[in-house]
């Protein structure tokens, strides 16, 4: 039986990865390690929390002793590392939190895996989940990020992720740790924390609040449905080549203002509001410092070598997402009021 540590499993993407692994692989034991920061929410996992092959552990990857003990206790066969501080705007106001979790936390996990697996690396796997933001920004519309694109991180968030990617590769070359990395574009879907663009817009439309668009709204992002990212992680975890990097993306680029307009239109239809109602809430605000102009992924390698491809057209994914938020307004209200944290802090004592 395989024992797999998934870090950050109470967060947005992590919760989809945990659900996929717990349900698809009953023969695996899944340990979800999460600090339950503001972004961690166990309500994302209520449907599988009692599964016999699932265990939740509350803890901080920055605490090296705790991580070492966890590895000694569980003897993991694999790690899928998603725990991170993940929001660019927060990284601008508090960069050190990103250094601690994203860099030091990742190194603690690498050290623990190296110690735990030192006599037998065979069959083990350390999978680091990263972002396309490490490549910097694109200006030429013909250009895409490839696995060979040089790193050029420009925000404290992307710098911390780039640093962690470098450490993961360094442990692969120096200590022969069996590592694999993926760099993915912007995800969207259920459980998305409403500090990020799409859930924030959906939340604000519901509450008739202004829709803040940074600068002129001309920055471009590539969007991928979160379940398709989880499927890609499953594929790379099992079939990816050790030491390799795979880019994951949706071939689905949108200017921010265009995607905001599309959400407005979809929400007006769903809420039975007159066409154009939500658009009136759009408010152009001061641009983000160092705002990357465009991200675009070339995901040919994972498609050709591992046979993964996105399963959903964007319009379908967006509709599913809007429906999920409309059907889960209690989730949204609990997150925005902070109630979810009070509840789970009472359930799990800090380690």
Interior CA angle at 166 toward 162 and 171, to 5°? 150
Pick one of ligand TYD, ligand NAD, none as the site partner of residue 267 (Cβ within 5 to 8 A by kind): none
CB of 260 to ligand TYD, least distance (A): 8
Per annotation, catalytic residue among 132, 222, 228, 292: 132
Q: How many CA atoms lie within 13 A of 131 on its CB side?
A: 31
**Residue 282 burial by CB count (10 A; 0-12/13-18/19+): exposed, middle or buried?**
middle
The reply to whether 132 belongs to the active site is yes
Q: How far is the CB of 119 from ligand NAD (least distance, A)?
A: 27
Residue 195 or residue 279: which is nearer to ligand NAD going by CB?
Answer: 195
One residue of 16, 196, 229, 231 binding ligand TYD per CB under 6 A: 196
> Dihedral angle at the C-alpha atoms of 101, 104, 110, 113, nearest 10 degrees?
-80
Among residues 157, 171, 246, 295, which one is catalytic?
157
Q: Which of residues 248-267 bind ligand TYD (CB under 6 A)?
A: 256
Decide if 222 contacts 295 (C-beta within 8 A).
yes
Provide the token pair at 162.
């780039």
Of 106, 219, 235, 252, the one binding ligand TYD by CB under 6 A: 219
Please select the residue that binds ligand TYD; options are 4, 6, 213, 264, rule is CB under 6 A.
213
Determine the angle formed by the axes of helices 329-337 and 197-206, rounding to 10 degrees: 100
User: Nearest approach, Cβ of 274 to ligand NAD (angstroms)?
Assistant: 32
Q: Is 268 exposed, middle or buried, given 0-12, 13-18 or 19+ CB atoms closer than 10 A?
A: middle
The CB-of-35 to ligand NAD minimum distance in angstroms stands at 3
Of ligand TYD, ligand NAD, none, which one does residue 213 interact with (CB within 5 to 8 Å by kind)? ligand TYD
Q: Has 246 been annotated as catalytic?
A: no
Taking the C-alpha atoms of residue 320 and residue 225, their distance in angstroms, rounded to an integer, is: 10
Active-site residue flag, 214: no
Q: Is 212 in the site for ligand TYD (CB under 6 A)?
A: yes
Catalytic residues: 132-133, 157
């Amino acid at each position: 039986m395989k024992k797999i540590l998934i870090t950050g499993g109470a967060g947005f993407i992590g919760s989809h990865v945990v659900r996929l692994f717990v349900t698809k692989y009953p023969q695996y034991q899944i340990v979800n390690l999460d600090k339950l920061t503001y972004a961690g929410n166990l309500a994302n996992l209520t449907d599988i929390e009692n599964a016999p092959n699932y265990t939740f552990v509350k803890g901080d990857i920055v605490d090296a002793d705790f991580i070492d003990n966890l590895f000694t206790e569980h003897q993991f066969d694999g790690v899928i590392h998603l725990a991170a501080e993940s929001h660019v705007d927060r990284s601008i106001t508090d960069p050190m939190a990103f250094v601690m979790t994203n860099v030091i936390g990742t190194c603690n996990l690498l050290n623990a895996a190296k110690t735990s697996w030192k006599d037998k690396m065979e069959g083990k796997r350390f999978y680091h989940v990263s972002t396309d933001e490490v490549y910097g920004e694109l200006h030429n519309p013909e250009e895409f990020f490839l696995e060979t694109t040089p790193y050029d991180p420009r925000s404290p968030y992307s710098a911390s992720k780039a640093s962690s990617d470098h450490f993961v590769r360094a442990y692969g070359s120096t200590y022969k740790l069996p590592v694999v990395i993926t760099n993915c574009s912007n995800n969207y879907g259920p459980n998305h924390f409403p500090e990020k663009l799409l859930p924030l817009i959906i939340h604000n439309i519901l509450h008739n609040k202004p829709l803040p668009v940074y600068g002129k709204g001309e920055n471009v992002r590539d969007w991928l449905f979160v379940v398709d990212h989880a499927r890609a992680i499953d594929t790379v975890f099992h079939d990816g080549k050790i030491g390799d990097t795979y880019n994951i993306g949706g071939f689905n680029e949108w200017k921010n203002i265009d995607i905001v307009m599309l959400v407005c239109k979809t929400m007006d239809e769903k809420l039975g509001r007159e066409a154009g109602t939500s658009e009136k809430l759009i408010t152009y605000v001061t641009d983000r410092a160092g705002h990357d102009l465009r991200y675009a992924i070339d995901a040919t390698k994972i498609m050709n070598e591992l046979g993964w491809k996105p399963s959903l057209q964007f319009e379908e994914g967006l509709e599913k997402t809007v429906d999920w938020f409309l059907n889960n307004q209690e989730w949204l209200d609990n997150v925005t009021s902070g109630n979810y944290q009070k509840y789970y802090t009472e359930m799990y004592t800090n380690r």
